[in-house]
A = this chain, B = another copy of it.
Amino acid sequence: MSNIPQSAKLGQHVVIEENVNIGKNVVIGHHTTILAGTKIGDHVTIGSQCVLGIQPGGSARMRKTSKRDMELVIEEGSRIGHVTSIYAGTKLGKNVFVGDHASIRENVSVEEESVVGRASIVELNTKIGKGCTIQTLAYVTGDTTLEDDVFIGPCVSMSNDKYMGAQAFSLNGPYIKQGAKIGNNASLLPGITIGQNTIIGAGAVVTKDMEDNITAAGIPARKIK
């Protein structure tokens, strides 16, 4: 049984599976699917054509997460755009904004007031702090950490696999410290750390750790200030 209070405003053809819990004053757009095990807080708004609460699967060649029957938790006041997909095992804090066409995988936490931009992708096992902005079409790879107040520009690319599939998995995304800002279309390599308040220029390729409070740019990225 699912809990759908009277205050919920549901669009047409909304599908709500079993074991879904919906808070007060929730709005859900047309044709949206809420899969089993999803917990939606008060005053959450969800667009049309979304799929929320997907249980991880994947192919035999992809990593499997062991747990089953995981939950997607969306805390109060968050707004989820249209045509989005979000997996179970993930938690979105209060007042998070997820843009249209975005996708967020399992075992991700997004803390309060952060923005996951339009058509951006956040892969599995990633932590996103408070007040972060991930801009349009940015790619946050798996096993990545963003501390609070990080800015990821549009079309930023990250990777977490230094052997590009050639060796057994030892995946490690970037670690981006508080207040760092990554310019649009920059590329971050696996396992690198970006220091606190450091700025990376547009189009830079970051191949090694960057210290705190610097500005770096170029290919490979070097300190310019």
Interface of chain A residues 122 through 140 with chain B (CB within 8 A): 123, 133, 135-137, 139
List residues of chain B with CB within 8 A of the CB of A51.
29-30, 47-49, 82-83
Oligomeric state, in copies: 3
Shortest distance between the CB of A31 and any CB in chain B (Å): 5
Query: Quick one: CB contact mask for A158-184 with B, threshold 8 Å, 1 for yes?
Result: 110000111000000000000001011
- Residue total for A at the interface (Cβ-Cβ under 8 A): 65
Task: Select from chain B the residue with minimum beta-carbon distance to A83.
Answer: B85
What residues of B have a CB within 8 angstroms of the CB of A165 in the complex? 133, 151, 181
Known A58-B97, A153-B159, A159-B154: A103·B118 in contact at CB below 8 Å: yes
Q: Once the chains are docked, how many angstroms separate the CA of A113 from the CA of B61?
A: 8
Enumerate chain A interface residues (CB-CB to B < 8 A). Answer: 11-13, 15, 29-31, 33, 45, 47-49, 51, 54, 57-62, 79, 82-83, 85, 95, 97, 100-101, 103, 113, 115, 118-119, 121, 123, 133, 135-137, 139, 141, 151, 153-155, 157-159, 164-166, 181, 183-185, 187, 189, 199, 201-203, 205, 207, 218-219
